[in-house]
Amino acid sequence: MDHQLILDGALVAKEVKESLTTRVKSLKKQGITPCLATILVGDDASSATYVRMKGNACEKIGMLSRKIHLPKETSTDELLEKIEKLNKDESVHGILLQHPVPAQIDERAAFEAIAIEKDVDGVTSLGFGQTAFGFGNYPSCTPAAIISILDYYDIEIEGKHAVVIGRSPILGKPVSMMLLNRNATVTTCHSCTQNLADIVKLADIVVAAVGKPNFVQGDWIKKGAIVLDAGYNEGNIGDVDYEACKKNASAITPVPGGVGPVTISMLLKQTVDAAELTLEKHLTC
Ligand code: NAP
């Protein structure tokens, strides 16, 4: 394409974080330091890296991060007890349970235990429902990142045909809802979808959330389409065959440096939002 745009997630994230730094300073002056609690269960190396990155990102903008690392043998009850304590702890504003948890744990029950006002990653069914209705405070962070990138680059969503590949509760489903709420016509695809390539070829906006490296092929992309790659596979590889898809796309996110950094900045933003809401409550009491 002649006028091709690389959608630079690092740039979007930098701007979000700059505005958060000011908000964090102002909160601190009023006696509140926004704090994100991260819970990691077990020793999965990638999960440990993600949690560390999130904690470091908090500290860089003056927030606190409370890292809770539980042994891989932790039971559902033990995890629920930990979450309950964090729910009651007034110095914690957001809770992030790193997915996936070890197999013996009922992950859904653990997500549901997070108090809605601290569910800054939109993992509870109430948070998801609110996102679907379009009035939730805290949508899932990767879908929020995708919408933020489109908005940052003034890419129109209304009236466009968006094809989302993937329907997970944290990514494909909520981003489909958020695009629908912004008046896109949305097709959500999954592992049982037939003629996937033909459906993607109709898309003005393609969101890849499959979890398979280089899955989306160059000849599936309509000329001029916008491509957002949420995938993050081993070796820093996205779900989109970037070089091939770039040829037809008018705008595309790279991996790394696309959706990933914006996702982290959305997590920080939503935790700061939560801290500001607690301050408002204190002031009105
Ligand atoms: P997931 O829970 O494994 O869901 C994958 C989805 O892809 C499922 O809905 C599955 O369909 C669908 N799928 C699998 N094979 C398919 C096929 N051949 N054709 C069409 N659809 C297919 O994964 P996830 O948690 O949503 O994550 C997706 C990707 O995003 C991964 O690469 C992950 O690492 C990445 N991710 C990135 C961020 C970030 O911050 N950038 C955050 C979270 C996740 P079924 O429902 O039918 O099984």
Helix (H, G, I), strand (E, B) or coil at 227: strand
204-229 residue pLDDT tens: 999 999 999 999 999 999 999 999 99
Average pLDDT over residues 25-53: 95
Q: Which of 216, 149, 205, 202 lies closest to 180, judged by CA?
A: 205
Which sequence spans correspond to the domains of the chain? 31-116, 140-259
What is the b/e burial string over 176-206, where b = at least 16 CB atoms within 10 angstroms of the residue's CB?
A: bbbbbbbebebbbbeeeeeebeebbbebbbb
- pLDDT beyond 80 at 138: yes
DSSP 8-class letter at 120: T
- pLDDT beyond 60 at 2: no
Q: Residue 200 is encoded by which pair of tokens?
A: 């993607």
Catalytic choice (8, 121, 204, 239): 121
**In which residue are the tokens 């992309």 written?**
221
- pLDDT beyond 90 at 267: yes
Q: How far is the CA of 166 from the centre of ligand 1 (A)?
A: 5
Distances (CA, A) of 184 to 55, 169, 187: 35, 19, 10
pLDDT band at 3 (very low <50, low <70, confident <90, very high): low
pLDDT band at 280 (very low <50, low <70, confident <90, very high): confident
Average pLDDT over residues 77-97: 98
Residue 34 CB less than 6 A away from ligand 1: no
pLDDT band at 150 (very low <50, low <70, confident <90, very high): very high
pLDDT band at 279 (very low <50, low <70, confident <90, very high): confident
The mean pLDDT value of the chain amounts to: 96
104 in active site: no
Average pLDDT over residues 95-116: 97
Which residue's alpha carbon is nearest to atom 41 within ligand 1? Answer: 260
pLDDT > 90: percent of the chain? 95
Choose the residue to mutate in 171, 220, 255 for probing ligand 1, maximizing ligand atoms within 8 Å of C-beta.
171
Which residue's alpha carbon is nearest to atom 18 within ligand 1? Answer: 191
**In which residue are the tokens 């991260």 written?**
38
pTM of this structure: 0.96
Q: How far is the CA of 165 from the centre of ligand 1 (A)?
A: 8
Burial (CB count within 10 angstroms: exposed 0-12, middle 13-18, buried 19+), residue 29 = exposed
Q: Which residues contact 27 (CB under 8 A, 6 or more apart)?
A: 33, 34, 272, 275, 276, 279
54 in active site: yes
- pLDDT beyond 70 at 51: yes
Which residue's alpha carbon is nearest to atom 1 within ligand 1? Answer: 168
281 in active site: no
Is it true that 31-116 and 140-259 share their CATH fold? yes
pLDDT of residue 1: 57
CATH code reported for the domain at 31-116:
3.40.50.10860
Q: Which fold has domain 140-259?
A: Rossmann fold (3.40.50)
Average pLDDT over residues 247-263: 97
